[in-house]
Amino acid sequence: MGQRTPLYDLHLALGAKMVDFGGWDMPLHYGSQVEEHHQVRQACGVFDVSHMTVIDVRGAQAGVWLQHVLANDVDRLNATGKALYSTMLNEQGGVIDDMIVYRCDDGYRLVVNASTRDKDLAWLQARMIGFEVELSERPELAILAIQGPQAREKVAELVTAARAALIRELKPFEGLADGDWFIARTGYTGEDGLEIIFPALQAPAFFNDLVGAGIAPSGLGARDTLRLEAGMNLYGQDIDEAHTPLTSNLGWSIAWEPAERDFIGRKGLLKEIEHGVEQKLVGLVLEERGVLRAHQVVRVAGIGEGEITSGSFSPTLSKSIALARVPMATADRAEVEIRGKWYPVRVVKPTFVRHGKILI
What is the predicted pLDDT for the residue at 237? 97
61 lies in the same domain as 41: no
User: Is 182:109 a contact under the CB 8 Å cutoff?
Assistant: yes
Per-residue model confidence as pLDDT tens digits over 314-349: 999 999 999 999 999 999 999 999 999 999 999 999
What is the predicted pLDDT for the residue at 358? 95
Residues ≥6 apart with Cβ < 8 Å to 108 = 56, 57, 58, 62, 63, 66, 74, 77, 101, 102
- How many angstroms separate the most distant Cα atoms in the chain? 62
What band does 22 get if pLDDT is binned at 50, 70 and 90? confident
Per-residue model confidence as pLDDT tens digits over 136-171: 999 999 999 999 999 999 999 999 999 999 999 999
Report the alpha-carbon distance of residue 141 to residue 201 in Å, rounded.
8
Could you tell me if residue 131 is inside a domain?
A: no
What is the predicted pLDDT for the residue at 15? 97
In terms of residue numbers, what domain contains 67? 54-121
64 lies in the same domain as 117: yes
Per-residue model confidence as pLDDT tens digits over 228-241: 999 999 999 999 99
Per-residue model confidence as pLDDT tens digits over 54-112: 999 999 999 999 999 999 999 999 999 999 999 999 999 999 999 999 999 999 999 99
117 lies in the same domain as 260: no
Could you tell me if residue 2 is inside a domain?
A: no
Could you tell me if residue 60 is inside a domain?
A: yes
Query: Could you tell me whether strands 53-58 and 134-137 are parallel, antiparallel, or unpaired per DSSP bridges?
Result: antiparallel
71 lies in the same domain as 45: no
User: ω into residue 6 within 30 of 0, thus cis?
Assistant: no
254 lies in the same domain as 354: yes
270 lies in the same domain as 338: yes
Could you tell me if residue 280 is inside a domain?
A: yes
Residue 195, marked binder: yes
Domain at 267, CATH number: 2.40.30.110
What is the predicted pLDDT for the residue at 238? 98
Report the alpha-carbon distance of residue 108 to residue 7 in Å, rounded.
27
Region 310-315 average pLDDT? 98
From residue 10, give the alpha-carbon distance in Å to each of 6, 196, 203.
Answer: 9, 18, 10
Report the alpha-carbon distance of residue 248 to residue 265 in Å, rounded.
15
User: Is 142:199 a contact under the CB 8 Å cutoff?
Assistant: yes
| Mean model confidence pLDDT for the chain | 97
Q: Residue 355, Cβ neighbours under 10 Å: how many?
A: 11
39 lies in the same domain as 23: yes
Candidates 359, 352, 47; CA nearest to 218 is: 47
Could you tell me if residue 150 is inside a domain?
A: yes
What is the predicted pLDDT for the residue at 2? 85
> Pick from 90, 121, 152: which residue ends a domain?
121
Could you tell me if residue 3 is inside a domain?
A: no
Residues ≥6 apart with Cβ < 8 Å to 195 = 49, 111, 143, 144, 145, 146, 175, 183, 184, 185, 186, 187
Could you tell me if residue 94 is inside a domain?
A: yes
254 lies in the same domain as 321: yes
User: Is 182:196 a contact under the CB 8 Å cutoff?
Assistant: yes
209 lies in the same domain as 325: no
What band does 121 get if pLDDT is binned at 50, 70 and 90? very high
What band does 119 get if pLDDT is binned at 50, 70 and 90? very high
193 lies in the same domain as 317: no
Domain at 163, CATH number: 3.30.1360.120
From residue 35, give the alpha-carbon distance in Å to each of 43, 126, 176, 213.
Answer: 11, 44, 31, 17
From residue 174, give the alpha-carbon distance in Å to each of 103, 137, 303.
Answer: 9, 21, 43
Burial tier of 170 (Cβ tally within 10 Å: 0-12, 13-18, 19+): middle
> Pick from 70, 90, 121: which residue ends a domain?
121
Region 253-258 average pLDDT? 96
Cα 112–Cα 18–Cα 241 angle in degrees, nearest 5: 30
What band does 253 get if pLDDT is binned at 50, 70 and 90? very high
Could you tell me if residue 171 is inside a domain?
A: yes
* Chain-centre distance for alpha carbon 212: 27
145 lies in the same domain as 43: yes
Q: Give the chain's domain count.
A: 3
Candidates 26, 29, 18, 33; CA nearest to 51 is: 26
Res 1 pLDDT > 90: no
User: Is 143:195 a contact under the CB 8 Å cutoff?
Assistant: yes
Query: Could you tell me whether strands 95-104 and 83-89 are parallel, antiparallel, or unpaired per DSSP bridges?
Result: antiparallel
Domain at 98, CATH number: 3.30.70.1400
Q: What single letter denotes the amino acid at residue 172?
A: P
Sign of the Cα torsion 200, 32, 183, 43 reads negative
> Pick from 121, 147, 166: which residue ends a domain?
121
Give the 3-state secondary structure of 56-111: EEECCCHHHHHHHHCCCCHHHCCCCCEEEEEEEECCCCCEEEEEEEEEECCEEEEE
User: Is 61:241 a contact under the CB 8 Å cutoff?
Assistant: no
35 lies in the same domain as 158: yes
